[in-house]
């Protein structure tokens, strides 16, 4: 089990991979700002968090689930966790039966050209690591896109887990050292809610 100082919020994984500099400002400089993109994301999650439990067409759905994994030192909140009854599923004591467990992460828009962003991909993997440990299962993972009203199944490979572990190591180093990484040369800042705080000199008009 990791100490408190070593634990990582699942949101931090997405924030760090999106922009290490932005993550450093938020983590070590306590900076934050919202814009229209942040607000849209909040609205996409709003209907998920309005209720804790529902059942439809034989699928049980829990919302805003708090999850953790002591071995990896992870914690966070899931948008939606679904349990579909199946003889090939995992036994879930709370429901007294075997179920296929599925994670559903809500997003505002589907990715262009079908290319899922690395930061969102790894955030979903972190959720899977926690859920698999808590329920003793091999959960299925999905993104649900509000604009298309469709979900996409996501798969992970061994290399993804290796990359994820290295990312956690880098995040912990930043937290422990109190550093703010420099802005990446190829970082896109146009839609960032913290652009006015960060003020990258060559990107302020991006």
Task: Quote the pLDDT of residue 33.
Answer: 42
Residue 41 has pLDDT above 80, yes or no: no
Model pLDDT for residues 191-205, shown as the tens digit of each residue: 666 666 676 555 444
pLDDT reading at 186 higher than 90: no
Per-residue confidence at 93, pLDDT binned at 50, 70, 90?
very high
SS3 percent helix, strand, coil of the chain, rounded to 5, is: 40, 30, 35
Distance CA 16, CA 70 (A): 21
Comparing CA positions, the residue from 80, 99, 93, 96 lying closest to residue 138 is 99
Structure confidence at residue 90 as a pLDDT band (50, 70, 90) = very high
Sign of CA dihedral 84, 121, 127, 43: negative
Local structure of 84: helix, strand or coil: strand
Q: Please give the average per-residue pLDDT across 118-125, as a whole number.
A: 96
Calculate the average pLDDT of the chain: 82
Q: Where are the alpha helices (DSSP H) in 54-191?
A: 118-135, 158-177
With contact defined as beta carbons under 8 Å apart, do 64 and 78 qualify? yes
Does domain 4-198 fall under CATH 3.90.320? My reply is yes
Is the pLDDT assigned to residue 32 strictly greater than 50?
A: no
Confidence class for position 206, pLDDT limits 50, 70, 90: very low
Can you tell me the distance from the alpha carbon of 153 to that of 141, in angstroms, rounded to the nearest whole number? 6
Position 50 confidence tier, pLDDT thresholds 50, 70, 90: very low
Q: Which letter, b or e, does each residue of 72-109 get, where b requires 16 or more Cβ atoms within 10 Å of its Cβ?
A: bbbbbebbbbbbeeeeebbebeeeeeebbbbbbbbbee
Min mean pLDDT across 9-13, 32-36, 127-131, 165-169 is at 32-36
Distance CA 64, CA 80 (A): 6
Instruction: Give the model's pLDDT for residue 98.
Output: 96
Which whole number is the average pLDDT over 114-125? Answer: 93
**98-112 average pLDDT score:** 93
Distance from CA of residue 105 to its chain's centroid?
8
pLDDT at 100 over 70: yes
Domain ranges of the chain: 4-198
49 three-state secondary structure = helix
């Amino acid at each position: 089990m990791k100490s408190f100082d070593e634990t990582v919020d699942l949101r931090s994984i997405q924030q760090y991979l999106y922009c290490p500099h932005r993550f450093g400002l938020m983590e070590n400089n306590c900076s934050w700002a919202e814009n229209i993109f942040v607000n849209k994301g909040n609205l996409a999650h709003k209907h998920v968090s309005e209720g804790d439990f529902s059942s439809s067409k034989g699928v049980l759905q829990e919302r805003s689930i708090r999850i953790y994994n002591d071995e990896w030192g992870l914690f966070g909140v899931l948008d939606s966790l679904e349990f579909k009854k199946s003889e090939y599923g995992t036994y879930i004591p709370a429901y007294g039966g075997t179920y296929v467990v599925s994670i559903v992460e809500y997003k505002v828009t589907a990715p262009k050209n079908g290319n899922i962003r690395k930061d969102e991909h790894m955030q979903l993997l972190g959720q899977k690591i926690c859920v698999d440990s808590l329920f003793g299962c091999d959960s299925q993972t999905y993104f649900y896109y509000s604009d298309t009203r469709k979900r996409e199944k996501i798969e992970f490979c061994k290399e993804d887990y290796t990359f994820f572990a290295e990312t956690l190591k880098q995040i912990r180093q930043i937290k422990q050292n109190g550093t703010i990484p420099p802005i990446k040369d190829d970082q896109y800042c146009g839609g960032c809610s913290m652009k006015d705080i960060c003020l990258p000199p060559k990107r302020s008009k991006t």
